[in-house]
A and B are shown apart, each in its own frame.
Chain A
Amino acid sequence: MTALAPAPRGTGGDRRSRGAPALSPAPAVRSLLRGLPTVPAVVLLVVFLAGPIAYCVYYAFTDMQLTGASGTHFVGFDNFTRALKDTDFLNAMWLTLVFVVGSAVVGQNTLGLALAVLMQKATRPVRALVNGVVIAAWVLPEVVAGYLMYAFFFNQGSLNSLLDALHLPDQNWLYTMPILAVCLANVWRGTAFSLMVFTAAINDVPQELVEAAEMDGAGPWQRLWRVVLPVIRPSILTNLMLITLQTLSVFGLIYTMTRGGPGNKSETLPIFMYQQAFQNSLIGYGTAIALVLLVVGALFSVVYIRLLKLEDD
């Protein structure tokens, strides 16, 4: 794999000369007819995607409950003002930021990049082994990964057995620093994605650029810092956007490892939302929190897109 093959040329059919046959329908009708095959898909999207989303937005402004109240009333922004006064919500907001920045922006991103760079010079068997190990964690179902990580971190788990064998002090992070434990677990689980993105991106860096830098006396660090990274910057930003959105909505991993506990020390927004909606039966409040989560994701995306735009200018 070196440079990309040229993109295929647009395959527009030969244009009709004007003065179409008299029998052809009027342009408006024609475009309608052309749209016809998409109608089933549009209907399905409206029924299954737009509908629920619209409902979700509506519920966020009501006091809907799963049980305990028969009627549902429109309450305006009550759910949102309640959230802002709710210390648990603010705690969840903070932990979500810690989790996203810690496990995605810093953890998965850096580790993925480091592995991709190191693997450039690795021999084939080493590369196959590392790829296999990293990707295995990624293809596991989230809940399975969660249980594995629980078995690794918990008091009598494999990490402590390892530490004992090395005569190092035990850890009890699931209990003392659960957010650190779930961050590490998420790094372990999600790094594969970044690794693949960066491997592909680095392979696309024109070899002659790197060689030219080498001729000019740039060391390996400088080559990475001044040549490779600037070239793959768009990939870094795209990758950041994708893993941020993925990490924002992580639920299964945290739920299986800690259930958001102990107390609320690992209660990120998705877990908090679940507890409000389904444990406390407050569907309205829960969906309001879901909307907030959506906004947080949108904010992150906007920042990344702005950075990408700067790239183009």
Chain B
Amino acid sequence: MRSRIVTAAAFTAATALAVTGCGSGSSGSSAKSIKVVYWQNLDSANKLQANFLASMVKEFTKANPGTKVTLVPVVASENDYYTKLQLMMRSPATAPDLVYEDTALINSDIAGGYLKPLDAYTAKWADWSQYAKAAKGAVTGASDGKTYAVPDDTDTRGIWYNKQLLQKAGIAVPWQPKTWADVIAAAKKIKAKLPGVTPLNLYTGQAGGEASSMQGFEMLLYGTPAGDKSLYDASQKKWVVGSQGFKDSLDFVHTVYSEGLGPSKEQALGANFGTTVGTELIPEGKLAIDIDGSWMPNNWSSAAAKPWKEWQSVMGTAAMPTQNGQAPGRTSMSGGWAWSIPAKAKNPDLAWKFLSTTLQTKTNAAKWNVTNANIAVRTDVASDPAYLNSVPTNKFFTELVADTHYRPGLPEYNQVSTAIQKAMESVTTGQASVDKAASTFDNDVKAAVGDDKTVEGTS
């Protein structure tokens, strides 16, 4: 009788273990295999990174027989991608060996204890000296000064405009607005002269995620007189609230959408608008001015889903002006993406080997920057004529680096960014006035970072 009880108990325990996946032998990667996670955005036609990584895996497995690299694309909106990634990195059972992230989030994940410091690896890697200082800064932990990722590209942002449409509206090209007012004035001219054309696109709202915060809002905010201190004051280590610059930027957003100078609100607040802009509105000549990133040509290259060869003659570029044309006269925002190794990775050494001997050799880094039309972070690549000439706009966007700004590399940035998107959305829809949206933002930021970490803006 007793033995039966024991047997039943043992059976029960075994069942529980089996169903919860506890116990040994359930790990997915052996010493010879790694799992690499990257973001496949909702535009499933965009396979640039998938194809590039597949060729890298081929190269690596050929050089290292017996190794296995599994690519795991996560198909999601950008915000959902990070959520999924963080959930994966939380548990040793699901942690990948190499992950691809926007540098804006690196500090959040460092503070979360998700990432492994790479200093021991970079110390023995000759190529590390080739990486630009600003790019290294973007992947350095705010609290401990250690390196947590290897950046593979950076970007800048500016104004893309359709030369033909501007000329039709009676605006001389090449066009270079000097102030925000110039941008609005041009948009108004286009609206009056060209019915059926969206004059100006400015990303906005929560569905757009970081694109709204960065291409949309920070391109304005960092061009206000407070400049680098408009969102975060690094000298006081405090977030700026209640500033006039913030309200002015919101007012710009409000003007664009309330006066019908932008896309329809329903379109702008949709989840996949970025793809629509790059693959439909611009090539079809339905959008005249777009405040967007240096990577736009990868929507139109021969490798893209819908190649558009004419872009080189149709599209012009201009720098985003500062609010009133004050020095330095132009502004830009830079981010970039980077490869990290999760703290709970099963096979960090092999992941590093893949990263340093294949993904980020000079040749392959250049190949990636050319493929994806982004700005190089390695000085040896940046001066390479093949890279500079690969995309006609590379030179213009690389020069913007001189006047660019980086987002505050802090764990709280993510929440502040969400608060920005919320404020933008409420003035876009007209749900709140500029003042009301700005004060909601102030409260959101105080709730997220603590009252003692905020300071009233002076300008």
- Contact surface of A with B, Cβ cutoff 8 Å: 25, 33, 36, 39-40, 43-44, 47-48, 65-70, 82, 86-87, 154-155, 172, 174-175, 259, 261-265, 278-281
CB <8 Å contact, B266 and A280: no
Chain A residues closer than 8 Å to B86, beta-carbon distance: 66-67, 281
Chain B residues closer than 8 Å to A155, beta-carbon distance: 264, 266
CB <8 Å contact, B5 and A67: no
Q: List 25 A-B contacts (CB under 8 A).
A: A33-B5, A36-B5, A36-B8, A39-B12, A67-B111, A67-B112, A67-B411, A68-B109, A68-B112, A68-B411, A69-B112, A70-B113, A154-B266, A172-B266, A259-B271, A261-B205, A261-B429, A262-B266, A263-B422, A264-B431, A265-B429, A279-B206, A279-B418, A281-B83, A281-B108
Contact (A262, B112) CB under 8 Å given A39-B12, A47-B16, A68-B414: no
Chain A residues closer than 8 Å to B45, beta-carbon distance: none
Chain B residues closer than 8 Å to A47, beta-carbon distance: 16, 19-20
CA distance A1 to B158 in the complex (A): 73
A155 to chain B, nearest CB (A): 6
B15 to chain A, nearest CB (A): 6
CA distance A278 to B86 in the complex (A): 10
CA distance A40 to B4 in the complex (A): 14
Query: Does B105 make an interface contact (CB < 8 A)?
Result: yes
Give me 6 other A-B pairs in contact (C-beta within 8 A), A66-B86, A68-B411, A262-B265 excluded.
A68-B414, A69-B411, A86-B447, A155-B264, A175-B265, A262-B269
Chain B residues closer than 8 Å to A265, beta-carbon distance: 429, 431
A195 to chain B, nearest CB (A): 33
- Contact surface of B with A, Cβ cutoff 8 Å: 1, 4-5, 8-9, 11-13, 15-16, 19-20, 79-80, 82-83, 86-87, 105, 108-109, 111-114, 205-207, 264-266, 269, 271, 411-412, 414-415, 418, 422, 425-426, 428-429, 431-432, 440, 447-448
CB <8 Å contact, B425 and A278: no
Q: Nearest B residue to A174 by beta-carbon distance?
A: B266
CB <8 Å contact, A67 and B114: yes
Q: Nearest A residue to B267 by beta-carbon distance?
A: A155
Most buried by B among A25, A67, A68, A69: A67
Contact (A263, B426) CB under 8 Å given A39-B12, A68-B412, A155-B266: yes
CB <8 Å contact, A262 and B425: yes
Chain B residues closer than 8 Å to A36, beta-carbon distance: 4-5, 8
CA distance A281 to B83 in the complex (A): 8
CA distance A311 to B60 in the complex (A): 74
CB <8 Å contact, A67 and B20: no
Q: Nearest A residue to B22 by beta-carbon distance?
A: A47
A288 to chain B, nearest CB (A): 14
**Which of B5, B82, B111, B266 interacts with A69 by CB under 8 Å?**
B111
Q: How would you classify the secondary structure of chain B's contact residues: helix, strand, loop or mixed?
A: helix
A35 to chain B, nearest CB (A): 10
Chain B residues closer than 8 Å to A67, beta-carbon distance: 82, 86, 105, 108-109, 111-112, 114, 411, 414
Q: Nearest B residue to A40 by beta-carbon distance?
A: B12
CB <8 Å contact, B15 and A44: yes
B116 to chain A, nearest CB (A): 14
**Which of B112, B207, B414 interacts with A259 by CB under 8 Å?**
B207
A27 to chain B, nearest CB (A): 15
CB <8 Å contact, B431 and A262: yes
Contact (A70, B431) CB under 8 Å given A262-B265, A280-B415: no
CB <8 Å contact, B16 and A44: yes
CA distance A109 to B308 in the complex (A): 54
Chain B residues closer than 8 Å to A175, beta-carbon distance: 265-266, 429
**Which of A70, A154, A263, A281 interacts with B425 by CB under 8 Å?**
A263
CA distance A86 to B448 in the complex (A): 12
CB <8 Å contact, B83 and A279: yes
B289 to chain A, nearest CB (A): 23
CA distance A66 to B84 in the complex (A): 10
Q: Nearest B residue to A39 by beta-carbon distance?
A: B12
**Which of A33, A65, A82, A262 interacts with B205 by CB under 8 Å?**
A262
CA distance A69 to B79 in the complex (A): 18
Chain A residues closer than 8 Å to B113, beta-carbon distance: 70
Chain B residues closer than 8 Å to A66, beta-carbon distance: 83, 86-87, 112
CA distance A21 to B136 in the complex (A): 84
CA distance A120 to B368 in the complex (A): 69
Chain A residues closer than 8 Å to B16, beta-carbon distance: 43-44, 47
A-B residue pairs, 3 tightest by C-beta: A68-B411, A67-B112, A70-B113
Contact (A263, B112) CB under 8 Å given A67-B414, A281-B86: no
